[in-house]
Amino acid sequence: MSVVPVPSKHKFALNSTKQRRLVLLLSMVIGILSGLAAVLLKNTVHLTNELITSGFDFAEGNYLYLAFPLIGIGLTVLFASFIIKDDIGHGVSRILFAISKKHGWIKSHNMYSSMVGSTLTIGFGGSMGLEAPIVLTGSSIGSFLGRKFHLNQKTINILIGAGATGAIAGIFKAPIAAVVFSLEVLMLDLTMVALIPLLISAATAATIAFFFMGSGVMFSFELIDPFYIRHLPYYILLGVFTGLVSLYFTRMTLTIEGKMHMIPKKWVRWLLGGVMLGVMIFVFPALYGEGYEFMFEMINQKIDGLINESLFGEFSSIWFIILFLGLIMIFKVVAMAVTGSSGGVGGIFAPSLFMGSVAGMFFGKLINQLPFVDVPERNMALVGMAGVMAGVMHAPLTGIFLIAESTGSYELFTPLIVTAVIAYLTIILFEPHGIYTKRLAERGELMTHHKDKNVLRMMKVSTLIENNFRTVDVNASMRDFTKEVAQSKRNVFPVVDAEMNFYGVIFINDVRNIIFNTELWDTTSVKELMYMPEILVNPDESMEAVAQKFQESEHYNLPVIKDGKYLGFVSRAQVFSTYRRLLRDFSDE
């Protein structure tokens, strides 16, 4: 079991020019490193794929489809189990957990382990994306540098965001979308203290990507068809549709992951998932790897060629094309979830873009079969990406700016906003949290933009327990109790036995009228003076729950009990003092 380091009391804060300059410099370094990591990972996966697929064609229905995913996931499981000896999946959720519950501490091996794992998984055909692994890599670099320079938790979180920003900017060459991603998904505060480092990292990483990859590589589209206001109703409907697709995406993913994790043996999960994935890719080659090539071909209206690569090459009617796209939507989510839950490493960023483009093309072709409807299907595919991203991640701004930057034009800005917002509003009717945050939120481990809740979640009962209360033996007399009163500076006395089992408390105010009556000292027992309080605190419960107990109670001290054993008290004054200090640090500009 790993130990989470407790933040030192002697951390630097951003309260001087020198320290602010240090953070800006670190942001540039993080941007360089995360940009290089993005370029390296993208090229490594591409070369791995080229190496293993050399000599056979998708259209030939090669049976190596059945083996490659199984081999890739198997190698990933071996790497994680025997070399790293840690779980290296769920990149963005891992970052959010580190920000919320681990003081910004991300294990150093994540600076390279997720890159290796995703190369093995996706290079061999795993149906996931590279974005989450590279975001974890960049965030790990930020966490590592922040800890090495002994920065405080808030500043480390900013550097984690800078790493994530640099990674997204490097892999998509979309610096604005990268900054928005960190603000929207990682839920950093929109302040100048946080924003400037993110901008520096984004610009630096994007420059690195342009320098090594050129301007025409990776994720870019040419906007051909203009936007007409008469088409706006169709984009509204597209928003509803992509919101429902996002709901399917989220729930199917979590369901499959839950079912797969019920299988206790890793090798059984690997074998089952690898075979299932191989069969799906054999039937639908579009599910192989990230799927960007399929997206580009589809958006460029080369769907006939894509169908020819599948087992359905003899069919080419418009209704069969629509059916084909619908099946791709259904099985892409299954392929992605199976890849991750069987031991593969990757993310849902690329699959959400894939699903969005297919959903947009599917919807565009479907409504174009209606009389008097002629909406640009290419634009519907592009806007659909923003819709599904907005729904799956609960990040409409990220989807809007990513597609706008990818097309190099803001002409689609209006339909992007309309579709993304409606998709988001549609899914929150069913799912209040995005796929990255749902399980963290259910466990109460999610940092949000709500500062009050964030500060409470940063506090732990175990660090607030006070032990300077004089205990009284449960079998003692009132005379013995008065001796403890004489030596105590507190007005509350826990009653325990020799094994520290908790029986109740005595408040001085409750016995003040008889404590000085010496005639009762030997005839009155502690059991007659004590009572069991209605409200107790468990050291493992959240500070939100403890704060609620203080609000409901008139007491200033609540006993902390675990398994019937007395541990101490948590005081209203101590909680409030710690809360004020953390809130001041958290909100410091």
Q: Are residues 128 and 197 in the same domain?
A: yes
For residue 10, tell me if it sits in a domain. Answer: no
25 pLDDT band, cuts 50/70/90, is very high
Q: Are residues 47 and 106 in the same domain?
A: yes
Q: Are residues 418 and 466 in the same domain?
A: no
Query: What type of residue is 121?
Result: T
Total domains in the chain come to 3
Query: What average pLDDT does the segment 40-64 reach?
Result: 75
3-state SS assignment for residue 501: strand
Query: What average pLDDT does the segment 120-126 reach?
Result: 92
In tens, the pLDDT along 469-500 reads 999 999 998 888 888 888 888 888 999 998 99
pLDDT given at position 468: 86
In tens, the pLDDT along 131-166 reads 889 999 999 999 999 999 988 888 898 999 999 999
Query: What average pLDDT does the segment 259-285 reach?
Result: 91
Query: What type of residue is 202?
Result: A
Helical spans, DSSP H, in 342-412? 349-367, 377-393, 396-407
In tens, the pLDDT along 361-389 reads 999 999 999 988 889 999 999 999 999 99
- For residues 189 and 311, give the distance between their C-alpha atoms in angstroms, rounded to a whole number: 50
Higher pLDDT, 302 or 290: 290
* Residue 32's CATH number: 1.10.3080.10
Write down the residue that tokens 């958290």 correspond to: 586
- For residues 30 and 181, give the distance between their C-alpha atoms in angstroms, rounded to a whole number: 16
Q: Is the pLDDT of residue 249 over 80?
A: yes
Q: Count the helices and strands in the chain (H runs, E runs).
A: 24, 5
In tens, the pLDDT along 4-17 reads 454 444 455 445 67
Query: What average pLDDT does the segment 241-254 reach?
Result: 96
Out of 442, 468, 490, pick the residue that ends a domain. Answer: 442
- For residues 69 and 272, give the distance between their C-alpha atoms in angstroms, rounded to a whole number: 11
**Ranges 120-124, 279-283, 336-340: which has the least confidence:** 279-283
End-to-end CA distance of the chain: 36
Q: Are residues 260 and 352 in the same domain?
A: yes
The gap from C-alpha 509 to its chain's centroid, in whole angstroms, comes to 50
Out of 182, 217, 252, pick the residue that ends a domain. Answer: 217
Write down the residue that tokens 């101490």 correspond to: 568
- Residue numbers of the domain that contains 247: 229-442
Beta-bridge mates of residue 505: 494, 531
Q: What is the per-residue DSSP string for 287-318?
A: GSTT-HHHHHHHHTT-HHHHHHHTTTTT---H
| Dihedral, CA of residue 142, residue 148, residue 149 and residue 153, to nearest 10 | 60
Q: Are residues 395 and 490 in the same domain?
A: no
In tens, the pLDDT along 524-536 reads 888 888 888 888 9
For residue 450, tell me if it sits in a domain. Answer: no
For residue 5, tell me if it sits in a domain. Answer: no
Q: CB of 106 within 8 A of CB of 98? A: yes
* Residue 500's CATH number: 3.10.580.10
Query: What average pLDDT does the segment 401-425 reach?
Result: 90
The gap from C-alpha 125 to its chain's centroid, in whole angstroms, comes to 24
pLDDT given at position 423: 97
**Ranges 181-190, 365-374, 410-419: which has the least confidence:** 181-190
- For residues 471 and 506, give the distance between their C-alpha atoms in angstroms, rounded to a whole number: 10
2 pLDDT band, cuts 50/70/90, is very low
The bridge status of strand 502-507 relative to strand 492-496 is antiparallel
